[in-house]
Structure 1
């Protein structure tokens, strides 16, 4: 599988994983359309990357999605790849967070999970007609809860199960659609959260993630566990209860250190 000559829509394409893949896919000879909520940031990226096309769209806003669909139908009817990268990650102390309103607690659900589902469903007919591909970005933390990111964990686990179900339905109903789940660890160059330690040994360079992903696409993988996500996958399958406790102790003490008397 040579990944060139495609028309690719990337949500969350102005930073981190989304922007990194947008640049690489464009370099490989693909048409790239990126979306983002922030119009100023989107225009900045478009000015710096003249081969991109952009559209202001919020995956968590049901009213903006039909506008994106119409834009794609009118301008890029050959769309054959969607990469769902839009996402946020929050460490949350459920007991003492300053604002634990329902709106705040569910924002990751609306963006990470419901946004992925909504965008994918909106373009399913187009993708099937074009023998297309969906790439859903989940996380190594979809395999093992880390305690510090209670909502993020569940959204990425949801992306994992949704991707599996979509893939199996495509096979069962004989639809020409391939579904790939990309499972990264924490990537150094992302801006998911300010707490990121760029020197942490389990973090992954974005360039390495892109290389592993392209190799996985070339090999026809349905699930691409990259970097430390491979270990998290195994930890989630073998003695997961004990591994969850160990990982949570480490992560909670890192994000929410207890004050000594």
Structure 2
């Protein structure tokens, strides 16, 4: 058997995410090879990318895709036009669409897993808050405000305009992590990973991650188990398939996670 493992950042040489992406891809390839399964991949070459993806899919028995939501949806639509979805372990397009809209995703999962209070902009009441676009990845256009004075001062600067396309969330100060899962007929958490999130005054940026998690902070084993449980519940409820990543924040008291 031969499996094509595609990881987006490694394939297109995205310098912002390639280290973390390569670690996720290599973790998957290592596990497959331990089971005696041959693998193929695309390295640092975005030239004619979709044609190369298609060729590898055709030449493999099965395919695992690892990519951000938007890119994954585009690749899914491309492969769907070639009628080879039966060779690709990937979420249904309807399931992928559910993950794109952060507010819809919040409403979908609210009450099922622990999540911060989330409303549509401009509902600013309880500070500190974090404001983020409904659509977007990689900490794009995300800002945190400790109080109303800080928020008003930033708005007057004109650096960013907020509108109905943003959400407002309760800010959780804690340890930033993510969970990688492999979802088919069953859902298996693969690793708990660390994320480097930078807070420069009010601007939030993503500075990469570590796979698996290696942190000085002590995360209780029951918290890690609960995070794995929540990630499985989210995957099953949304009918996600393939290689999945879900972000979590564990508060500094090791008691609350989202």
Fold shared by both chains (TM-score > 0.5): no
| Greater fraction of residues in helix | 1
| Greater fraction of residues in strand | 2
User: Which protein is bigger by CA-based radius of gyration?
Assistant: 2
What TM-score do you get using the length of structure 2 for normalisation? 0.36
What TM-score do you get using the length of structure 1 for normalisation? 0.36
